[in-house]
Structure 1
Amino acid sequence: MQAHKQGKKISPLDITMMLLSTITLGLIITRLWFDVGTETANLLFKLDTLVCCILLSHLAYGCALSEDKAQYLKQHWIDILASLPLSEHLRYFRLLQIIRITQALYQGKNVLQLLKSHYQETTIASVILLLISVLTVGSISILMVESNAPGASILTAADAFWWTIVTVSTVGYGDLYPVSDAGRIVASFIILSGIGTFAAVSGLMASILVPQVKPDPQQQALLYEVQRLQAQIAQLQKQQTTNAGRRPFKAQKKRAKRPLRD
């Protein structure tokens, strides 16, 4: 019963934070367990720090909205420790959050219903997840394909991260640019993703700024009454048409019963 109550408290932002936690675990495992080179390892560290800042902001926001802040901190102290930057080995505590949210979603209501019932929050969560995913995949990919290309200008982790931010925002200063075919393919992917992201942001801002007109109960009742009268009129017309078609048939039937005169 307690797990079911927790499942009701899960929000789209919680699901996004769970996915971001999975990304941080992947970044840390890749950095610590594999030899990816100095610049790539530095880039993974910067991306992990960015995600940790977002996770801490979400925890701070939840604490600010919580009525019992002491209870909130007591329940999420492991999440806070796992989100601290410069503490990579504590990041494995994120597995507990992933398991907790997964269980709550499994025992709670359908995920699609949850996302549909919180449209604005789902849009914000999707934009955050998409931006972090594009920054992560784009900066790592462009650094891997451009760092060893002849005449390349994207050589360091800072260059890759800055170029990805500029490209996903579709600004394109031109100070850094890909020179290889693989780099141009990565750039095309990032540009298209940026267009979709900012289109979603524009739609979200429009839904927030444009006031939603609430229907008047009297107008709704009047509209319902008009629709009911229209349905009755249509039914009467249908019956009248049916009766008019039956009358000639009855007249012919009466004539057929009359005896024939010599």
Structure 2
Amino acid sequence: MQRPWVVATLFCLNAAAAGASPANLLPVAQKLPITPDNFCLGAQNVLKTAKQVLTDELAVLCTGNTATTLFKNLIAAPYAGTGTPALTQVFAPRADNNARTSEIMVAFAMRIPKTAVNTLLVEEKHAIVPYDSEAQPPPLGNQLANMKMSFQFMEPPKNEGDADTTFALQQTVDTRSVAVNFKDVSNHELRQYILHPDNFDFFMAGRTLVAPTEQFKKSVVVRGFMTDPADATKTLVVTVAHFLMNSRDQHEQLVLAFSNFLTTDVSKLYQEQIKP
């Protein structure tokens, strides 16, 4: 669900994506230097009102209003469609044998050959792209065989005035292997934020788990969008993904399976982004 003024904003975003100048659609109240620090400034302002809990994930990118070294390193060497995407571990995967949980947190960056407005608009389309581990080429297709993930949009939740757009997603994970066998259905919220008023260079999306399930205790994906300072026709996208899951006493296999899913998802997202 969208706030009334956001309908107009989204109209302008779509018009901008079609080639119209944002300056002709909305007055530019803030024209900021395109820097990681100004992304962080906007993100911290969002945190003050956001209903989503994104603190731990944003802390990977920002210390207050200042970009972290990791943030700067990620956007200095972003994935641009060649080779296998590299995931940076924020910390080594954690196993809690008493609680039977596995925790992973990774980050990655991409450079998309589109404006920030166009790049943000693809986020909604990509949210329901399915995954099938068996369809992946080796070695990604040889781990935790037959893990399928599917997604569908649900009735949008009420927008409480904290985000610019809000979507509800249902995720189904179905795994059939010798080591791990489960099916899990979970609900998630996808919220998108304009980080600075009337500014088309900085955006953020957050996807969070609505309620824990048997498999997922925490699931948070934060994605930041920033116009490439070196080329205004391109966008730097940085993502932090954080999962706390039921390990089912198969910590290493589970971590590998979800790491492979994320690696594949980066490639899929990039391919989705570069479509005309």
Q: Whose relative contact order is higher, 1 or 2, with alpha carbons under 8 Å and at least 6 apart?
A: 2
Judge same fold: TM > 0.5, yes or no.
no
- Structure whose alpha-carbon radius of gyration is higher: 1
Could you state the TM-score of these two structures normalised by the residue count of structure 2? 0.18
- Richer in helix (by share): 1
Specify which structure has the higher proportion of strand.
Answer: 2
